[in-house]
Structure 1
Amino acid sequence: MEPFAERVLEVVERIPPGMVMSYGDIAEYVGEGGPRQVGKVMSTWGGGVPWWRVVHADGTAAGGLLDRAMAHWLEEGTVVRGERVDMRRARWDGATRSADFQQRR
C-alpha cells in the first residue's frame, strides 16, 4: 500500500463516531491529492475502516452504499437530514475531540 493510502486510512480511523469528513476534507488534511484520489483509496482499501464516516461534500454516501451507511449513521447518532449527513453539524475538523463535539450538538 502506498504512503498516501496509509495516511488516508489513518485519518478515517480517527474520525469519531457520529462525525464525518468529506473526501476533499481528508485530502486537505493529509496535504496531498484530492477527493477523487481519496475516493480511490476508499474504494480499494476502505473496507477495514469506518468508511461510512467519509461522505461527499454534500453529505451523501458513496454510490450504492446509502442503506448500509444510513444504518451506521443512525446507530452512531450522526445528524442526518433526509438521505444525507448534515455537514454543518456532523463535519469533523480533524482536531475536535468527540466529547467536545457531543456538547455542541
Structure 2
Amino acid sequence: MIEPNFYERVYAFVRRVPRGRVVTYGQVAACLGAPRSSRAVGYALRALAAGHDVPWHRVVNHRGQISPRYPAESPMLQRLLLEDEGVRFDTQSRIDLSAYRWHPEEPS
C-alpha cells in the first residue's frame, strides 16, 4: 500500500533532478524506499495539476525511453523539453542512461 504522502514525496524528489539529467520511474521509487512502486510514480506524475512546478519530463522508463502518456501529445512535448535541456536521443528514441541519468548523491 502506498503511504498517503507518497505523491508529494515523488514531486519533491523529481524537483531535485537537474536540467539535462533524467531519472527512471523505478529509480524514483527505490530512492523513496518503495522499490516496487514505479507505476505509482507514474500515477503521481500523471496526477499533476495544471501550473505545477514539477519537471515531470525528466522521468523516463528503465530503457531510457519516454513512456506513453495521456494526452497523446505529451510524449512529443517531453522529448522537446528534454532536447531543449541538451538531452540527446539515439535513432531508436532512447536516452543513454549512462550519460544522462542523475544520481541523488551528485550535486544538483
Q: TM-score range by the shorter chain?
A: 0.7 to 0.9
* Residue aligning to 1:11: 13
Q: Does 1:92 align with 2:102?
A: yes
Aligned residues: 97
Structure 2: 5+ residue stretches without partners: none
DSSP-derived class of the 2:48 partner: helix
TM-score by length of 1: 0.83
* Residue aligning to 1:39: 42
2:56 alignment partner, one of 29, 47, 51 = 51
Query: How far has the Cα of 1:46 moved from its partner?
Result: 6.9
Q: Could you tell me whether the CA contact under 8 Å between 1:9 and 1:46 is conserved in 2?
A: no
DSSP-derived class of the 2:21 partner: coil
Counterpart CA distance in 1 for 2:49 and 2:99 is 24
Structure 1: 5+ residue stretches without partners: 99-105
Counterparts in 2 of 1:20-35, with a 5 A limit? 20-32=22-34, 33-35=36-38
Structure 1 or 2: more helix by fraction: 1
The verdict on how the C-alpha distance between 1:40 and 1:25 changes in structure 2, with shifts beyond 3 A counting, is same
Q: Could you tell me whether the CA contact under 8 Å between 1:79 and 1:89 is conserved in 2?
A: no
Percent sequence identity over matched residues? Answer: 31
DSSP-derived class of the 2:40 partner: helix
Which 4+ residue blocks in structure 1 deviate beyond 4 angstroms?
none
Q: CA RMSD in A?
A: 1.6
Counterpart CA distance in 1 for 2:9 and 2:47 is 14
TM-score by length of 2: 0.80
DSSP-derived class of the 1:12 partner: helix
* Residue aligning to 1:72: 81
Counterpart CA distance in 1 for 2:95 and 2:75 is 11
Q: Which has the higher mean CA deviation after the structures are superposed, 49-58 or 64-73?
A: 64-73
